[in-house]
């Protein structure tokens, strides 16, 4: 309301910004959407960078995310985005600070993707992507009575595109279904060295006793995808952004499956006989959705 009335000023980044966010608390699929959007922007000739607040980090300073950045300094999702996209990534308490520092350090960047920040109205955006999972808007109430971070408008806001990280649309808003599947598995130490996951490695775990750990807002989604891939994991749900200060599974566990969001918080070399497998998600934006977002960006952005 304060921004709508002009009491507070919206600040503009040096280049156009695409905000990826959601209306409900908890993860709905923002991070894989950011990763896929960065890839789509590159394929269309843009040079993207990514900005984020960096949830759970120990500092509010503006920091560039590097391959060897400690999670405590930059946050788990920005580090994962950096590893998956190789794009410049900066985090800061004020996203406009991250935007300015990134653009100053990387003059080649001509578009920014803001990981989260739908409700951060201080940062001007050209286009926004609103991501829903199968929860939709829940009971329709705002926090704390319901899951909504903000009221759910009757109509899709201008210059907004709706993406459903679900089997079907979970709100009345028209939107596009994301294409998602498991890309495969790779041993943790090989993942840290940059090795790609493979489907044969994941399929080889069928019929074996495995434990699946997931520190995310909706861990059940990971467990269901593993079962759909033919595995029968023992689920170990953990709090979102779990710190992994200690390994949460029994020391005699033979095989453990984790998400990439968990992997960035695990040591590059682990002790004991447990084999830790990183299971990656192949998350794709449909071509017509990417085209609509990028056409919208070109239409509304005026340097």
Q: Of 34, 25, 35, 73, whose CA–CA distance to 265 is shortest?
A: 73
Q: Which domain holds residue 204?
A: 182-282
Work out the number of other CB atoms within 10 angstroms of the CB of residue 67: 10
Instruction: Return all residues near 213 (Cβ < 8 A) that are at least 6 apart.
Output: 236, 238, 248, 249, 256, 257, 258, 262
Closest among 179, 206, 181, 201 to 191, alpha carbons compared = 201
Mean pLDDT of 58-81: 92
- Is the same domain home to 78 and 187? no
Over residues 247-278, the pLDDT tens digits come to 999 989 999 999 999 999 998 877 778 999 99
- Number of domain units in the chain: 2
Residue 166 within a domain: yes
Domain contains 220: yes
Q: Is residue 5 part of a domain?
A: no
Distance CA 295, CA 112 (A): 16
Asked whether the predicted pLDDT for residue 6 surpasses 90, the reply is no
Query: Which pLDDT does position 303 carry in this prediction?
Result: 66
Residues 56 and 104 occupy one common structural domain: yes
Domain for residue 10, yes or no? no
CATH assignment of the domain containing 28? 3.40.50.300
pLDDT cut 90: percent of the chain above it: 72
CA-based nearest residue to 115, from 57, 33, 175, 41: 33
pLDDT reported for residue 45: 95
Q: How do residues 219-252 score in pLDDT, each as one tens digit?
A: 999 999 999 999 999 999 999 889 898 899 998 9
Upstream peptide bond of 55 is cis (omega within 30 degrees of 0): no
Q: Are residues 60 and 110 in the same domain?
A: yes
Average pLDDT of the residues of the chain: 91
Same domain flag for 151 and 211: no
pLDDT surpasses 80 at 123:
yes
Note whether 27 and 64 are same-domain residues: yes
pLDDT in tens, 108-117: 999 999 998 8
Does residue 110 share a domain with residue 45? yes
Please name the helix (run of DSSP H) or strand (run of DSSP E) that holds residue 78, with its range, or none.
Answer: helix 76-85
- Look at residue 12 and tell me if it is in a domain: no
Phi-psi region of 54 (alpha: psi -120 to 50; beta: other; left: phi over 0): left
Residues 53 and 159 in one domain: yes
Task: Classify burial at 151, counting beta carbons within 10 Å of its beta carbon; exposed 0-12, middle 13-18, buried 19 or more.
Answer: exposed
Instruction: Tell me the mean pLDDT in the region 94-121.
Output: 93
pLDDT band at 143 (very low <50, low <70, confident <90, very high): confident
Residues 217, 123 share a domain: no
| 296 and 200 together in one domain | no
Q: What is the pLDDT of residue 204?
A: 97
My answer on whether 295 and 243 are in the same domain is no
Minimum mean pLDDT among 8-17, 155-164, 274-283: which range?
8-17
pTM: 0.90
Q: For residue 9, is it within any domain?
A: no
- Grouping H, G, I as helix, E, B as strand and the rest as coil, residue 203 is helix
Residue 156 carries which DSSP code?
P
pLDDT at site 8: 57
Q: Is residue 95 part of a domain?
A: yes
CA distance linking residue 156 with residue 87, whole number of Å: 30
2 in a structural domain: no
Strand partners, 176: 163
């Amino acid at each position: 309301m304060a921004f709508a009335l002009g009491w507070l000023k919206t600040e503009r980044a040096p280049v156009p910004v695409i905000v990826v966010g959601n209306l409900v608390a908890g993860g709905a699929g923002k991070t894989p959407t950011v990763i896929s959007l960065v890839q789509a922007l590159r394929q269309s000739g843009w040079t993207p960078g990514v900005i984020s607040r960096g949830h759970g980090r120990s500092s509010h300073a503006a920091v560039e995310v590097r391959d060897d950045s400690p999670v405590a300094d930059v946050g788990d999702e920005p580090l994962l985005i950096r590893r998956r996209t190789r794009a410049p990534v900066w985090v800061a308490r004020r996203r406009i600070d991250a935007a300015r520092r990134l653009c100053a350090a990387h003059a080649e960047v001509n578009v920014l993707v803001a990981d989260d920040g739908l409700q951060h109205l201080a940062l001007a955006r050209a286009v926004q992507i609103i991501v829903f999972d199968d929860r939709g808007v829940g009971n329709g109430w705002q926090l704390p009575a319901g899951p909504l971070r903000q009221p759910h408008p009757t109509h899709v806001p201008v210059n907004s595109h709706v993406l459903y990280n679900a089997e079907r649309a979970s709100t009345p808003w028209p939107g596009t279904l994301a294409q998602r599947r498991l890309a495969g598995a790779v041993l943790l130490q090989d993942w840290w060295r940059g090795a790609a996951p493979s489907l044969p490695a994941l399929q080889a775990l069928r019929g074996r006793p495995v434990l699946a750990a997931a520190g995310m807002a909706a861990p059940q989604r990971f467990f269901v995808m593993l079962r759909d891939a033919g595995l029968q994991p023992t689920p170990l749900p953990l709090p979102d952004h779990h710190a992994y200060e200690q390994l949460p599974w029994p020391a005699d566990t033979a095989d453990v499956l984790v998400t990439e969001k968990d992997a960035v918080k695990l040591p590059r070399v682990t002790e004991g006989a447990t084999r830790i497998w990183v299971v990656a998600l192949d998350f794709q934006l449909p071509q017509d959705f990417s085209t609509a977002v990028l056409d919208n960006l070109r239409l509304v952005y005026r340097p």
